[in-house]
Amino acid sequence: MMHTPLENDFFDLFGIGRTYSLDRRLLRDRFRELQKKFHPDNFASASDHERRLSAQYAALINEAYTTLNDPMQRGKYMLSLHGINLDEEHDTGMDPEFLMQQIELREELDDAQSSIDALARLSARISDEFSKREASIGEILDNTSEQESQLETARHLVRELQFLVRMRSEIEDAEEALF
């Protein structure tokens, strides 16, 4: 029953090009346009089956939007379209340099726990590291002549984003605990 939207990828659903660097404003406009049509509120007096379908579509549109709107999830999703999955449990090959950096960042977080300023500095650094990787991922995924080895690099970068996202949330928890 859901075949139409599921046959297509999320980019098609929003009618935008399959690129990592995307116009988030346009994405949001298209998202709203779709929800204006398919949200269950439009079907409150429709037949039961139409109501059920609208709930399914609306959930799918929400999922697609959440995925594409988030740089880490978007990267993960695009890699999956290339048949590459980020299976965390069986993944070993992390860049040694980044592993070192991870340890360093963790230590800094431990030291910064009780200082709002230190946490803010760390948070800014994480944002910076995040943006750098976002740009590199875009360069690889949006390059039409991408090669296998480059996709592997992109996979590493997306995994690093995952780590940075976790760090960010831990910093926020630490900040919240200080108030």
Partner 1 sequence: MALLQISEPGKSTNPHERRLAVGIDLGTTNSLIATVRSGEAIVLPDEEGRYLLPSVVRFRAEGSPQIGYPALDASINDPMNTIASSKRMIGRKTADIKSLRDQLPYNFDDESANVPRIITADGPRSAIEVSAEILTALKKRAETSLRGNLGGVVITVPAYFDDAQRQATKDAAKLAGLNVMRLLNEPTAAAVAYGLDQGSEGIYAIYDLGGGTFDVSILHLNKGVFEVLATAGDSALGGDDMDRLIAEWLLDDVDDEELSSNSQFLRQAMVSARTAKEALTENTSTIVSLKLPDGSSREIVLDRTTMDEIIAPVIDKTLIPCRRSLRDAGLDKDDIDGIVMVGGSTRVLSVKEKVERFFEKKLYTDVDPDQVVAVGAAIQADILIGNRSADEMLLLDVIPLSLGIEIMGSMVEKIIPRNATIPVTRAQEFTTYKDGQTAMSIHVVQGERELVSDCRSLARFELRGIPPMAAGSARITVSFKVDADGLLSVSAREATTGIETQVDVKPSYGLTDEEVEQMLRDSITFANDDIKARLLAEQRVEAERVILAIQSALDVDGDKFLNDDERSELVKGINKLKELTDSDNAESIKQAANDLNQLSEVFASRRMDASIRSVMAGHNINEFSE
User: Is 65 a residue that touches partner 1 (CB under 8 A)?
Assistant: yes
User: Is 38 a residue that touches partner 1 (CB under 8 A)?
Assistant: yes
The smaller minimum CB distance to partner 1, of residues 23 and 104, is found at 23
> CA torsion angle for 83, 88, 93, 95 (degrees, to 10)?
100
Part in contact with partner 1 (CB under 8 A); list of ranges 2-10, 90-98, 123-131, 159-167: 2-10
User: Is 56 a residue that touches partner 1 (CB under 8 A)?
Assistant: yes
| Binder of partner 1 out of 10, 13, 75, 174 (CB under 8 A) | 13
User: Is 97 a residue that touches partner 1 (CB under 8 A)?
Assistant: no
The smaller minimum CB distance to partner 1, of residues 9 and 152, is found at 9
Alpha helices in the chain (DSSP H): 3-7, 10-13, 24-38, 48-69, 71-81, 96-112, 116-141, 148-178
Q: How far is the CB of 157 from partner 1 (least distance, A)?
A: 21
Backbone dihedral angles phi then psi of residue 48, each to the nearest 5 degrees: -55, -45
Q: Are 60 and 69 in contact (CB under 8 A)?
A: no
| 59's tokens | 């959930």
Nearest C-alpha neighbor of 134 from the set 80, 78, 174: 78
Which residues contact partner 1 (rule: CB under 8 A)?
1, 4-5, 8, 12-13, 15, 32-42, 44-50, 53-60, 62-63, 65-66, 172, 175-176, 179
